[in-house]
């Protein structure tokens, strides 16, 4: 497949043996056909000719990477870095080691690595070996690769709330993304996330736990309960979600207990027993609202939210007696001031 592209390129561009501007390699492909294979084909075609202009070529290629959609692909970066001649640019004398040997090429390599870092692509041993073969073990560009190899793995999983491996490199459907987002946002380990598939590509995801169901049961008839919408980011995906919440019933939590140095030990045991059996405040009862459920819908408007509430009523009977205010659409009177 690649060789077909190469042949068509050669025919179209070098029929008259004239100088081809480097950009033509990439501009020549129509926008619809710009994808990974055509990019690799352009690179392969350049490599065939083996010109001296690899720095310009690589710089130009970098500009077009996003256009061709290969900016997150490790193999493409490897082929790009492979263009550098091996062994020629390794400093031999001490003088060469002190000063930046082949500065243009090294800066170009650093630009490629920078682009990799910007898009969050992690290099692996092969990239390190390619750069070492091109520039030597302790050179400016290889130091950048070594730094990337040290720091990127260390910080890759620093997010305790989201496992990137579930999101990166996968094309997830909106409902799957919504499920991941709800899992990230639900801080109660007992939260159960359920997906309801409706006909015609419609879906609704709900996240609710037992304690939330209990809280709904405790509500009295006629209490108000609100449905609002908000957005959350899962890596670079923006996901809309809805919150079922109500006014708080308990005063704001005293988060810090002042330590008292002279403690009163009378009735310590009974006090402790009483405190132990007392109802504990659940994580859903926040200072300014109580959160009864989280959800995500395929379409964010009041009618869909109503269907979602209806679905929730199957597990929370008490919802039927409450007054539900849907605030998804902009024209509700409870909306922003």
Q: Which residues bind another protein (CB under 8 A)?
A: 118-120, 124-125, 128, 138, 143, 146-147, 149-151, 153-163, 181, 184-187, 189-190, 210-211, 214, 228-234, 236, 238, 241, 243, 245, 255-256, 259, 276-280, 282-284, 286-289, 291, 294, 334-337
Q: Which is nearer to another protein, 43 or 167 (CB)?
A: 167
> In the 8-state DSSP scheme, what is residue 169?
T
The minimum distance between CB 256 and another protein, in angstroms, equals: 6
Q: Which is nearer to another protein, 18 or 259 (CB)?
A: 259
The minimum distance between CB 7 and another protein, in angstroms, equals: 32
> In the 8-state DSSP scheme, what is residue 320?
G
Q: Which is nearer to another protein, 202 or 289 (CB)?
A: 289
> Residue 321 burial (CB < 10 Å; 0-12/13-18/19+)?
exposed
What torsion, rounded to 10 degrees, do the Cα atoms 156, 160, 161, 167 define?
20
Report whether 36 contacts 64 (CB < 8 A). Answer: no
The minimum distance between CB 33 and another protein, in angstroms, equals: 26
The minimum distance between CB 257 and another protein, in angstroms, equals: 10
Q: Which is nearer to another protein, 6 or 152 (CB)?
A: 152
Report whether 144 contacts 81 (CB < 8 A). Answer: no
Q: Which is nearer to another protein, 1 or 336 (CB)?
A: 336
The minimum distance between CB 30 and another protein, in angstroms, equals: 25
Angle at the Cα of 241 (from 239 to 246), degrees rounded to 5?
155
Q: Which is nearer to another protein, 49 or 119 (CB)?
A: 119
Helix (H, G, I), strand (E, B) or coil at 240: strand
The minimum distance between CB 120 and another protein, in angstroms, equals: 8
The minimum distance between CB 272 and another protein, in angstroms, equals: 12
d(CA 22, CA 10): 14
Cβ-Cβ contacts under 8 Å for 1 (sequence gap 6 or more): 37
Q: What is the DSSP string of 86-129?
A: SSTTS--SHHHHHS-SSHHHHHHHHHHHHHHHHTTPPP-HHHHH
d(CA 185, CA 174): 16
CB-CB neighbours of 285 under 10 Å:
17
> For residue 234, what are the β-bridge partners?
237
Q: Which is nearer to another protein, 124 or 310 (CB)?
A: 124
The minimum distance between CB 3 and another protein, in angstroms, equals: 26
Name the packing angle between helices 74-82 and 103-118 (round to 10°). 180
Give Rg (Cα) of the chain: 30
Q: Which is nearer to another protein, 187 or 197 (CB)?
A: 187
Residue whose C-alpha is closest to residue 38's, from 81, 82, 8, 72:
8
Q: Which is nearer to another protein, 44 or 162 (CB)?
A: 162
The minimum distance between CB 330 and another protein, in angstroms, equals: 10
């Amino acid at each position: 497949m690649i060789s077909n592209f190469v042949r068509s390129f050669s025919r179209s561009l070098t029929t008259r043996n004239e100088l081809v501007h480097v950009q033509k390699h990439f501009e020549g492909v129509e926008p619809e056909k710009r994808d990974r294979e055509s990019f690799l084909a352009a690179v392969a075609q350049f490599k065939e000719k083996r010109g001296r202009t690899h720095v310009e070529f690589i710089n130009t290629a970098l500009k077009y990477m996003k256009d061709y959609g290969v900016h997150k692909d490790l193999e493409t970066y490897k082929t790009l870095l492979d263009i550098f001649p091996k062994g020629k640019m390794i400093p031999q004398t001490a003088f060469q080691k002190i000063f930046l040997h082949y500065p243009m090429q090294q800066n170009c390599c650093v630009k490629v690595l920078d682009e990799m870092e910007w898009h969050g692509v992690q290099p692996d041993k092969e990239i390190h070996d390619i750069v070492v073969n091109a520039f030597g073990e302790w050179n400016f560009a290889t130091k950048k690769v070594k730094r990337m190899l040290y720091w990127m793995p260390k910080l890759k999983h620093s997010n305790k709330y989201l496992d990137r491996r579930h999101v990166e490199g996968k094309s997830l459907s909106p409902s799957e993304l919504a499920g991941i987002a709800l899992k990230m946002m639900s801080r109660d380990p007992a939260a159960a996330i359920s997906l309801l598939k409706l006909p015609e590509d419609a879906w609704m995801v709900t996240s609710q736990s037992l304690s939330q169901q209990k809280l709904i049961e405790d509500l009295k008839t006629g209490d108000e309960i609100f449905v609002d919408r908000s957005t959350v980011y899962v890596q670079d995906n923006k996901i809309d979600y809805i919150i079922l919440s109500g006014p708080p019933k308990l005063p704001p939590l005293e988060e810090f207990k002042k330590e008292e140095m002279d403690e009163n030990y009378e009735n310590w045991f009974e006090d402790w027993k009483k405190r132990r059996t007392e109802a504990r405040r659940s994580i859903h009862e926040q200072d300014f609202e109580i959160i009864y459920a989280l959800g995500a819908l395929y379409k964010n408007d009041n009618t869909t939210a109503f269907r979602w509430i209806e679905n929730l009523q199957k597990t929370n009977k008490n919802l039927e007696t409450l007054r539900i205010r849907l605030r998804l659409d902009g024209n509700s009177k409870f909306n922003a001031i």
